Amino acid sequence: MEDYQRKRYVAAASTLSKKLERRNFQPIICQNLLEAREQAMKIIDPDKSVGFGGSITIEQSGVIEELYKRGQKIIDRERTKSPEERHQVMKQALLSDYFLTSINGITEEGELVNIDSVGNRVAALTYGPDKVLAFVSMRKVYGDLTATVEMVRKNTAPLNAHRLGLQKTPCIKKGLCGDCLQTECICNTLVITRRSMAKDRIVIFLIIDEVGL
């Protein structure tokens, strides 16, 4: 990343942090994924359970591996052996003490925008786990609410569709969102979190580096 871009993200993160705090979120500015991981490890009680949603940013951070190394109880859908078992484990994760996730987009006013396929990730964000730790790059701050929803639907979702190897949706065939109702559609639930009811329940690691999708 160019130095001028980093300086711009740092300034924007400082401004955004104040707006997130007014919405009862707990922002923590991190220079990179390693710093975000280290902060998360400090926050998570070793004796508590941890669940997580599908996220490239979480994968890139290596936080799950570090938690396993210290013997953390992890509710891990990736270690299941059947769709039925996976479904049950995803439900259990909604009652974990901590939930790790990413955010698809943030508005300049501090609203969180997420789009989900099954809905487990956004369900955990809105209610269930006592603490949610969200990893998000500053490059996902897109502007006002309309612009952010559009970017999440027309940019992030198609990228995830290609990452997941889908076959039939318009974003696969044409590279563009077609507002489809296909069986494979991963844009089933759109959630806007404008404020956290419980103060500091949702910790947001604002990462200066450009990471994730």
Domain map (residue ranges) of the chain: 3-207
**By the 8 A CB rule, do 153 and 187 touch?**
yes
- pLDDT, residue 176, reads 84
- Per-residue pLDDT reduced to its tens digit, 81-134: 999 999 999 999 999 999 999 999 999 999 999 999 899 999 999 999 999 999
Give percent above pLDDT 90 in the chain: 78
- pLDDT, residue 27, reads 98
For domain 3-207, the CATH class is alpha beta
- Per-residue pLDDT reduced to its tens digit, 24-72: 999 999 999 999 999 999 999 999 999 998 889 999 999 999 999 999 9
DSSP-assigned letter for residue 154 = I
> Could you tell me the pTM of the whole model?
0.93
- pLDDT, residue 13, reads 97
Q: Using CA atoms, how far apart are residues 23 and 201, in angstroms rounded to an integer?
A: 11
pLDDT for 167 beyond 90: no
Averaged pLDDT for residues 176-182: 87
Q: How many CA atoms lie within 13 A of 150 on its CB side?
A: 6
Q: In whole numbers, what is the pLDDT of the chain averaged over residues?
A: 94
